[in-house]
Structure 1
Amino acid sequence: MRYLPLTETDRSAMLEKIGASDIDALFADVPAEALQKTPIAGLPLHASEMAVERHMKRLAAQNLSAADAPFFLGAGAYRHHVPATVDHIIQRGEFLTAYTPYQPEIAQGTLQVLFEFQTQVARMFGTDIANASMYDGSTACWEAIAMAGRITKKSRAVIGAIHPHYLATSQTMARFTGDTLVPVTPVLSADAGEDAVIAEIDETTSAVVVQYPDILGRIPDLQKIADAAHEKGALLITVVTEPVALGLLESPGSLGSDVVVGEGQSLGVGLNFGGPYLGLFGAREKYTRQMPGRLCGETVDADGKRGFVLTLSTREQHIRREKATSNICTNSGLCALAFSIHMTLLGGEGLGKLAAINHARAAHAAKRLGAIKGVELVNTGGFFNEFTLRLPGHDAREIAFRLTKRGILGGVSMGRLFPDHDEMGEGLLVCVTETVSDEDIGLFADALEEELA
């Protein structure tokens, strides 16, 4: 892409066209307290390239990365082994793009990959259809809520024990749409809280949103919630932050979910310091035209040969903005390709085996950690590869911090995710994948026991 700088005349003409007095007028909606009015203290106004590189390397050296320590973090971002084949293929010239193609005649390979990606997601989720991916899991969650509102003509969504960041994203968007979100705060209990969620459903409810497994690692009864939601004319939206779990668990679609969304990072995509990630979105076929994002379809050309096209693309770039089903449905094309390659390498049987390994490792760790004096295992009713420990009388966030000083990334504090709920401060969410060894579990258990003594 060429760099084409604007002249002052260009800028003035653009501002005059849109009716803005100056550049600052474009930021009028940003709260004044959020604007940086002076240079950042301690940051030099300029430095040489070499000096900046040295400084950044010194800062980076302070990090404790996933590859350098026993790693038990999860909560929506998971460390799995990504086969070298994935990186090898996505770096091929015909694939190395982060975006969806708009000229099908020169992008048949990419379109076919997206078509196959949709098939894999739909089969995994148990839905009739899936789109060509979205920005990430949290924005996909909001898009599902907005979609439910369009379908039911209602604007009240009941939110179960989903990741607080997904809830926060949805709350941000709901400010501008008038939707009412009713969160049901989870408690540190083996009970997945289905009854508390069902109690909030009424005739004005557009959707019920639950996570599977939930933020504490519990596995809710989706069919029970689906029946209650459908009785009141609401949709069930299921959020899956760890798709590897679906190698063992029944698919949400088969349990009554109308829309299934999630984060695809754990297959083919590394942790990447928080992104880019990959939003997954599936739904029942009757809701196809209300689904955000894009759908790749199979067709035949003028010569009768098989081909692929963008079949539906109801976003603001293609139709009138007010008619768009989404304004934040960016397709993470390269991440979708990585997901699809990893899924193809695994196959259905391989995904099941990977899931079984994850669960077995997690069950071993839960037994070892739960036996420590002063530790209570919350998930007595079952879990996949994440479970929550209660540390009575201790701030789990402080314990997790002290574990990092020992070179162990020992879980995510519930107090960090739920700072306004004191009881959650004793909870420590632990994730165990196939990358965790027996030695890692032993080091974690010994360190935790010493910290609690």
Structure 2
Amino acid sequence: MRYLPLTDADRSEMLAVIGAARIDDLYVDVPDAARRDGVVDLPLRQGEIEVERAMAMMAARNRAAGQGPFFCGAGAYRHHVPASVDHIIQRSEFLTSYTPYQPEIAQGTLQYLFEFQTQVAALTGMDVANASMYDGSTAAAEAVMMACRVTRRAKVILSGGVHPHYAETIRTLAHVAGAEVVSRPLAVDAETKVADGLDASVACVVVQTPNVFGTASDVSAVAEAAHAAGALMIVLTTEAVSFGLLKSPGEMGADIVAAEGQSIGNGLTFGGPYVGLFAAREKFVRQMPGRLAGETVDADGRRGFVLTLSTREQHIRRDKATSNICTNSGLCALAFTIHMSLLGEVGLRRLAALNHAQARKAARALGGIAGVEVLTPRFFNEF
């Protein structure tokens, strides 16, 4: 945004319009203890050139992730995003449009959401996917709440391999909802031990693969144990590229899948906005949070798109809503959809294989250093 200074006359005119005598009147509700006395020690009345120069000097102290190797991982990944992705999402009809309250007017938006859902369902091996969530962690928390609604139970078993930020988000929402969260001990192979001691009070078992340590696990046995106890299995994934190489959650018996889609089509952007992926079995669709775009035909038989389900509190009675999701970074979902379309199935498999090959190369090099031990024999990215 450009630097637009205001004159004293401008401020007086604006205050008069809203019925305030001075700027301090805007903050009368802020407690005195929270206010700062005096003037902040900053230079006053700087022109645009001076401000731009000062901000550039501050920004120069940063080191961008793109300036060198980036090994943060743990849910934040820097993959190459083709220039065509940014070019398309910057088209005015996508960049400036807001989800309308008469959604059928925006056929282009509904179509790309439908395509997004189709891609997510195929990646996860599930029957149905929604039109995206805020990010992977909130998708995980929503998945737990959905499992509690479906099973009418309130106990959640959390694998020790779940990303700590995801686990904290789940605990926060579960606390408010009155659900009990039981966390298993941290372990590189935590997913193999999470199903021990399940009983009829458990709503769901939450596992992550690849987990926060990078371990890729076949959780089919966990699904069997959960289902035997009448519980659901939720599978989390923080790196969507792994879907191109590993067995899908649906193939392993998952009932609900929550994942982070940032690594496809989206940059790091200092931690957000990201794009949450959410998929489930069709029999649970009425309990899914968020929106669901569907395909139909109009009165003249022409193909069209609608919001098939939108069980959020702004569309139906609050006590019947499955979520309160609102503006959920739909542009990030579009970037994901475009990048996935450009990659195709073969391209995604090649990208995933390249990631794994490079990670194995790094693991071999590090493992050859005295005193360094690679603890994860089966991994994707992290090790």
If the TM-score is normalised by the length of the shorter chain, which range does it land in? 0.7 to 0.9
Match of 1:38 among 30, 36, 61: 36
Kindly tell me: are residues 167 and 42 of structure 1, through their superposed partners in 2, closer, same or farther at Cα, counting changes over 3 Å?
farther
Matching of residue 384 in structure 1 with residue 380 in structure 2: yes
Q: Which amino acid aligns with 1:7?
A: I
Kindly tell me: are residues 228 and 73 of structure 1, through their superposed partners in 2, closer, same or farther at Cα, counting changes over 3 Å?
same
Kindly tell me: are residues 92 and 372 of structure 1, through their superposed partners in 2, closer, same or farther at Cα, counting changes over 3 Å?
same
Percent identity for Structure 1 against Structure 2: 58
Provide the C-alpha distance between the structure 2 equivalents of 1:271 and 1:126, rounded to a whole number of angstroms: 26
Residues 9-54 of structure 1: CA distance to partner in whole angstroms, max 9, x if unpaired?
9xxxxxxxxxxxx8469xxxxxx9xx84436996549663645544
Work out whether residues 247 and 351 of structure 1, in 8 Å CA contact, stay in contact via their aligned partners in 2. yes
Alignment of 1:291-370 (within 5 A): 291-328=288-325, 330-370=327-367
Provide the C-alpha distance between the structure 2 equivalents of 1:79 and 1:36, rounded to a whole number of angstroms: 39
Alignment of 1:173-188 (within 5 A): 173-187=173-187
Q: Indicate the SS of the match to 1:199.
A: coil
Q: Which amino acid aligns with 2:36?
A: T
Matching of residue 125 in structure 1 with residue 124 in structure 2: yes
Work out whether residues 124 and 251 of structure 1, in 8 Å CA contact, stay in contact via their aligned partners in 2. yes
Counterpart of 2:9 in structure 1 is none
Counterpart of 2:23 in structure 1 is none
Counterpart of 2:18 in structure 1 is 7
Alignment of 1:8-407 (within 5 A): 23=29, 36-38=34-36, 44=42, 48=46, 50=48, 51-97=50-96, 99-160=98-159, 161-187=161-187, 189=188, 192-328=189-325, 330-380=327-377, 382-387=378-383
Kindly tell me: are residues 195 and 243 of structure 1, through their superposed partners in 2, closer, same or farther at Cα, counting changes over 3 Å?
closer
Work out whether residues 192 and 219 of structure 2, in 8 Å CA contact, stay in contact via their aligned partners in 1. no
Work out whether residues 104 and 110 of structure 2, in 8 Å CA contact, stay in contact via their aligned partners in 1. no
Q: Which amino acid aligns with 1:386?
A: E
Q: Indicate the SS of the match to 2:216.
A: coil
Q: Indicate the SS of the match to 1:236.
A: strand
State the TM-score, normalizing by the size of structure 1: 0.75
Provide the C-alpha distance between the structure 2 equivalents of 1:47 and 1:250, rounded to a whole number of angstroms: 60
Unaligned residue ranges in structure 1 (runs of 5+): 10-21, 26-31, 388-453
How far 1:320 moved relative to its partner? 1.5
Unaligned residue ranges in structure 2 (runs of 5+): 1-13, 21-27
How far 1:194 moved relative to its partner? 3.1
Work out whether residues 134 and 330 of structure 1, in 8 Å CA contact, stay in contact via their aligned partners in 2. no
Counterpart of 1:393 in structure 2 is none
Provide the C-alpha distance between the structure 1 equivalents of 2:207 and 2:38, rounded to a whole number of angstroms: 41
Residues 255-276 of structure 1: CA distance to partner in whole angstroms, max 9, x if unpaired?
1000001111000001111111
Residues 259-305 of structure 1: CA distance to partner in whole angstroms, max 9, x if unpaired?
00111100000111111100110000001110000000111111110
Work out whether residues 98 and 332 of structure 1, in 8 Å CA contact, stay in contact via their aligned partners in 2. no
Q: Which amino acid aligns with 2:379?
A: F
Provide the C-alpha distance between the structure 2 equivalents of 1:156 and 1:43, rounded to a whole number of angstroms: 52
Residues 62-102 of structure 1: CA distance to partner in whole angstroms, max 9, x if unpaired?
22211112222211010000011101111112221474343
- Number of residue pairs the alignment of both structures matches: 360
Residues 130-173 of structure 1: CA distance to partner in whole angstroms, max 9, x if unpaired?
00001111100000000001000111111111111111112222
Residues 307-340 of structure 1: CA distance to partner in whole angstroms, max 9, x if unpaired?
0011110101111212110123543211111000
Provide the C-alpha distance between the structure 2 equivalents of 1:205 and 1:196, rounded to a whole number of angstroms: 16
Kindly tell me: are residues 145 and 46 of structure 1, through their superposed partners in 2, closer, same or farther at Cα, counting changes over 3 Å?
farther
How far 1:110 moved relative to its partner? 1.2
Counterpart of 1:413 in structure 2 is none
Q: Indicate the SS of the match to 1:198.
A: coil
Provide the C-alpha distance between the structure 1 equivalents of 2:210 and 2:171, rounded to a whole number of angstroms: 22
Q: Indicate the SS of the match to 1:67.
A: helix
Alignment of 1:422-437 (within 5 A): none
Q: Indicate the SS of the match to 1:377.
A: coil
Q: Which amino acid aligns with 1:48?
A: Q
Q: Indicate the SS of the match to 2:134.
A: coil
